[in-house]
Amino acid sequence: MRTLKIKLTGTGSKIIPKIVVDERAVNLKKNEFGSYETTVKTEKQEVDIFLFRELELKSKLWWLYAIISFIVSIFGIFEPPYDRKCIIIDCHFKVSLNEANEIKFKLNSLSPQGKAVNIETNCDYSEITNELKIDKNAKLRWRILLIIKIIVWIGIAITFGYLISKAL
């Protein structure tokens, strides 16, 4: 049984990517220094490690979730904003494992250029993808939501104005 200790640092921007090792999502635990770590056990000699970022606007039922959130939050007043930048992390590494392995991922700042993470490890690895990019689909959905919200807010304002003018 080989062990793989994964450490994730540089998550100061509150963006914590999901990590998938060997087609299984790993549960990261926050340590006392504010970084995240976990240990994975596997029989394989080589594993695929994926790092990616979950965006709320990427889900299949995004429109349903957005409608419910909008109504529950009293027409968006108390709603936390959706991520405007829609930057996703797309990382894929192939790592050859020894008996005990340690991989440290350092997350770079979110900008749609450059590498997503810097990697420090005692194992041999090959980098297949390691980039930050804008999810165009999520960005489009974000714009659609904004337009719909503005239309609804204008509609509410007109309705209120009409009701007040009728009451007076």
Applying CB under 8 A, the residues found at the interface with another protein are 14, 16, 18, 20, 23, 25, 27-28, 30, 36, 50, 52, 54, 56, 58-62, 65, 68-69, 72-74, 78-80, 88, 90, 92, 128-129
Distance of alpha carbon 72 from alpha carbon 31, whole angstroms = 35
CA dihedral 62, 65, 68, 74 (to 10 degrees): -80
Residue among 84 and 162 whose Cβ is closer to another protein: 84
We find the least distance from the C-beta atom of residue 59 to another protein, in angstroms, to be 3
Residue among 46 and 122 whose Cβ is closer to another protein: 46
Of residues 130, 129, 126, the one with CA closest to residue 118: 130
Residue among 39 and 69 whose Cβ is closer to another protein: 69
Distance of CA 90 to the CA centre of its chain: 10
Give helix then strand counts, H and E, for the chain: 2, 10
Of residues 26, 10, 20, 22, the one with CA closest to residue 51: 20
Cβ–Cβ under 8 Å, residues 50 and 15: no
We find the least distance from the C-beta atom of residue 139 to another protein, in angstroms, to be 15
We find the least distance from the C-beta atom of residue 99 to another protein, in angstroms, to be 26
Residue among 73 and 122 whose Cβ is closer to another protein: 73
We find the least distance from the C-beta atom of residue 51 to another protein, in angstroms, to be 10
